[in-house]
Amino acid sequence: MIKGALIMADEKRNTPAAAADPAYDMAKKRQLNPQADEMNRVEMRQGREVLTCGAKSKNSATGFCKSIAGAGTQHPGYGRCKFHFGNATGPKTPEGKAVLYKLVKNADVLIEGFRPGVMDRLGLSYEQLSEENPRLVYCAISGYGQNGPSRLKPGHDLNYLAEAGALQLFGKAGEAPIVPGLSIADVGGGSLMATTGILAALLSRSISGRGQFVDISMHDGAISWLALHGAETLFAGIEPKGGERPFIGQAPCYNVYTCSDGKHVALGAIEEHFWHRFCDAAGFQEMKTEQWPVGERALAQKTKLANFFATRPRDEWVEILASADIPFGPVLGINEALHDEHAQQRGMLQYMDHPVEGQIPQLGFPIKLSETPCTMRIAPPTLGQHTQEILGTLGYSAEAIAGMREAKVI
């Protein structure tokens, strides 16, 4: 039975704060109470609990929600459904290490985000902890992985994308790469890869009865996202750059256009029949036979479409072209997107009560399960909020807990 996960993180690790985000928690929770029933079924994690241990990250709350940051909580956007205990220095002490060993005995998964070698120096390596619990799945997430010349190099999302050859895909033709607006390497190369690796290890364990070490590199993960554009390099010798290849800004049929109100629309008419429908609806019969122009002809066609969309406001274009049944729609702001009728019906914006802030908004669940629907039951915790409770379940007395608190073990 999957009991759950224990997440360890430190604000000085080489991975960004996002490395301990909720995607890591999928299907890997720790069962504190063996008698807990279906009430423990939360989010996408099939009824188990996540314990997080770490200090407040200096970059996790700045600029987001100062009042919550001031209350000493985890980031309000990704701390939900976790229990927080201890601090980052705990595992560095004999008492804190003893606590971790007790937790590991019943854990299904341990996730750590330190630089390679830190857990070994702390006496908390996979080899050591697997002796305590042979069924443990131990996932180490780092910037560049556990081996290789860059293994100890610090980095952030931008660095991993840059060194994976992915950053050059973002930008305009002839210009320098831009900073992407999403944490692609952190989440897509780290969180999602960790989730997949952990689930594969858990499936393997169901057959072999033994856990294993899962080495996740956000740099590796970013490289794996190059399947489409990397093929151009590997098989055709083409070095794709933003604005210079069809699917990254060069093609007029697959592009973003500015409307008369300063807002934007996205046209994604890749398939020929969609392009023909667009040309019919827009009155561009002469362009139907030239969907993928290059060079000056591409610039001319793009200019023609830009002038066309600049004649009306965004929402009017959306209404006009709706009947064409083509991949076309508005470029929405985050607030617009979250309050859009479709996102609302899909439950992608939800609310929950927070002990300090009252009702707070939360992003919904992208995975919909028919038998074990995702729910939210625990608000983002204050730092160390569950320390007393967790240590109590491990058999520590109130006096012992007070002693550890005084010694700053917790």
Catalytic residue among 10, 25, 157, 186: 186
CATH 3.30.1540.10 maps onto the chain at 246-258+264-330
156 is catalytic: yes
246-258+264-330 folds as: formyl-coa transferase, domain 3 (3.30.1540)
Catalytic residue among 156, 229, 354, 386: 156
Mean pLDDT (whole number) for 388-402: 87
CB of 100 closer than 8 Å to CB of 111: no
At residue 62, does pLDDT exceed 70? no
Query: What are the tokens at 121?
Result: 């120096």
Query: What are the tokens at 256?
Result: 């973003």
Tens of pLDDT, residues 16-49: 333 333 333 332 332 233 222 222 222 333 345 6
Cα–Cα distance between 4 and 104 in angstroms, integer?
A: 10
CATH 3.40.50.10540 maps onto the chain at 4-224+350-406
Cα–Cα distance between 172 and 178 in angstroms, integer?
A: 9
Separation in Å, CA 349 to CA 148, 180, 188, 190, 346: 41, 23, 21, 24, 8
Residue written as token pair 């390596």? 125
Give whichever of 15-19, 266-270, 380-384 has the largest mean pLDDT: 266-270
4-224+350-406 folds as: Rossmann fold (3.40.50)
Tens of pLDDT, residues 300-337: 999 999 999 999 999 999 999 999 999 999 999 999 99
Strand, helix or coil for residue 379: coil
* DSSP letter string, 47-110: T-EEEEE-PPPTTTSTTT-HHHHHTTB--TTT-TTEEEES-TTGGGSHHHHHHHHHHHHT-SEE
Exposure string (b/e) for 379-394, b if CB count within 10 Å is 16 or more?
Answer: bbbbbbbbbeebbeee
- Percent pLDDT > 70 in the chain is 80
Cα–Cα distance between 80 and 85 in angstroms, integer?
A: 14
186 is catalytic: yes
